[in-house]
Structure 1
């Protein structure tokens, strides 16, 4: 099971850290790439071919502003692509520009999109996708959910 994480700029690495942490928690192998879709389109295309050949199962792509990276990746592969819209200090729209860019993909080029800066959910969604064919991972994911549920119930009971 492999996940590829793409970010369009080194400045987005901090936002994508939560995805890597949840993947590590489930012992999912991942590799990260910093490639601008606009500035290095040929490098991006070659890297997508490479990760497909290596057996990557899911792609997570974070991008800000025009946020074309996840859509361009999706146009070049049939692997599932999870987009993380990133709000950065250069944008004036609070990440909404990135969010709209990802969720308004044209037909036939899907990008599953999580909330602004929510790379944690992108990582968890990748784990859900991978668990479809891996029973050990599915079991771990169910245990994770039960543990989270019990923790929440305990927190709520403290306030009752």
Structure 2
């Protein structure tokens, strides 16, 4: 995070073992110059920290929270239950069920406490980062221009692809 800018996005994960996945969200935020904070907040091992973090997020200036967890994956839902900020849930691959347990834990939220849930693993984390950028871009024209340029670059890359001749 830039030391001179107030974080706009909180990136939290249940364990430091989730970092290799959640780092993909952080890489996107850095690519777009979005200030963020990242930390471990365990729903099960540090419930008091979870409550404090979630309840103070808005007053601390955060606009979006990206929460990733594996296994029981209660973190995104618990964060969402304690803030009105958008919460983007990233299921992290687990050893037992390859992330399906994480996905189902995050996506099955009761009506009234939404968590926007993404794909399992790195792709989901990267897209959560892009969605955070998109949310922020609704009130930041410079960021919206960067996001449009990113999308245009993706389009142009695809349009330049040439397949080998078919026999």
Global fold match (TM > 0.5): yes
RMSD: 1.2
Q: Is the 8 A contact 2:71 2:101 kept in 1?
A: yes
- Does residue 16 in structure 1 map to residue 22 in structure 2? yes
TM-score normalized by the length of structure 2: 0.90
CA–CA distance in structure 1, aligned partners of residues 127 and 65 of structure 2: 13
Structure 1 residue 76 corresponds to structure 2 residue 92: no
Unaligned runs of 5+ in 2: 1-6
Q: Tell me the CA shift for residue 33 of structure 1.
A: 1.4
- Match of residue 54 from structure 1: 60
Quote the residue 1:106 is aligned against: 110
Distance 1:2 1:12 in 2: 21
Distance 1:120 1:134 in 2: 20
User: Aligned residue for 1:131?
Assistant: 137
The count of residues paired between Structure 1 and Structure 2 equals 157
| 1:3 aligned to which of 9, 19, 43 | 9
User: Which position in structure 1 is the counterpart of 2:151?
Assistant: 145
Distance in 1, Cα, partners of 2:163 & 2:146: 27
Distance 2:163 2:45 in 1: 52
Tell me how far apart the structure 1 counterparts of residues 143 and 163 of structure 2 sit (CA, whole Å): 32
The structural deviation recorded for 1:158 is 4.8
* SS of residue matched to 2:42: coil
Which residue in 2 is equivalent to 1:115? 119
Unaligned runs of 5+ in 1: none
Q: Distance in 1 between matches of 2:133 and 2:85?
A: 14
Alpha-carbon deviations, 1:106-156, whole Å to 9, x = none? Answer: 00000001100121011001111111111111111111100111011112x
Q: Partners of 1:99 and 1:158 in 2: how far apart? A: 35
Higher share in helix: 1
